[in-house]
Amino acid sequence: MSIIRPALYVVATPIGNLGDMSQRARDVLAGVDRVAAEDTRHSGRLLAHFGIATPLISLHEHNEARRTESLLARLEAGEAVALISDAGTPLISDPGFVLVRAARAAGYPVLAVPGPSALVAALSIAGLPTDRFVFEGFLPAKAAARAARLRALREEPRTLVFYESPRRVDATLAALAEVFGEAREMVLARELTKQHETVLDGDIRAVRAAWEADPGAQRGEVVLVVGGAPAAAETELDAESRRVLDLLRGELPLKQAAALAARITGAKKNALYQYGLAASGGEDEAD
Interface residue list for ligand SAM (CB under 6 A): 15-16, 85, 87-89, 92-94, 117-119, 163-165, 189-194, 221-223
CA distances from 153 to 47, 262, 275, 279 (A): 40, 23, 17, 14
Please, what is the minimum distance in Å from the beta carbon of residue 232 to ligand SAM? 30
CB of 124 to ligand SAM, least distance (A): 12
Q: Measured from the CB of residue 164, what is the shortest distance to ligand SAM in angstroms?
A: 5
Residue 132 CB-density burial (10 A; 0-12 exposed, 13-18 middle, 19+ buried): exposed
Query: Which residue, 198 or 274, is less far from ligand SAM as judged by CB?
Result: 198
Please say which residue, 64 or 164, places its beta carbon nearer to ligand SAM: 164
Question: Shortest Cβ contact with ligand SAM: which residue?
Answer: 88
Query: Are 75 and 81 in contact, with CB atoms under 8 Å apart?
Result: yes
CB of 115 to ligand SAM, least distance (A): 9
Least distance (Å) between residue 17 CB and ligand SAM: 8
Name the residue nearer to ligand SAM (CB basis): 62 or 263: 62
CA-closest candidate to residue 237, choices 276, 283, 186, 181: 276
- Angle, to 10 degrees, between the axis of helix 269-279 and the axis of helix 239-249? 70
Residue with smaller CB distance to ligand SAM, 101 or 263: 101
The answer to whether 152 touches 50, Cβ cutoff 8 Å, is: no
The residue (of 15 and 160) whose beta carbon lies closer to ligand SAM is: 15
Residue 38 DSSP class = S
